[in-house]
Amino acid sequence: MAQAVVMIAGRTYRMNCDEGEEAHIESLARLVDSKIDELRGAFGEIGDQRITVMAALTVADELVMTRKKLAAEVEAAAQAREETAQLRLRLDESAAWAAAALDDAAAEVEAATRALNDEGS
């Protein structure tokens, strides 16, 4: 099993991970560490454990909000697909109506042409 060595809040940790996941784990650790730094800037030194819990809750909140936004986008995409399907159906119906109207008009033109030809003979 591979290991990633990360530093969070000034402490070094060895994290087991799947082969090839080291860079991803290191990136996640940098995200958490930067969130801790951000919170320290806002609240000062309030204790390592408390600031780490606050950082974890902040990241978890961002994750939940992102999931909600994603769910809303997925729902909007599904609704758009349904509306597109309905519009395609209406378009197909309109095309069939137009084709039938053109067929009727062509039949009337043919009949008029025959009538004119019969009158002229």
Neighbours of 51 (CB within 10 A): 19
Stated length of the chain:
121
Token pair listed for 107:
């039949």
- 51-107 pLDDT, tens digit each: 999 999 999 999 999 999 999 999 999 999 999 999 999 999 999 999 999 999 999
User: Which pTM value belongs to this model?
Assistant: 0.66
Domains and CATH numbers, the chain: 2-120 (3.30.160.880)
Has residue 120 got a pLDDT over 80? no
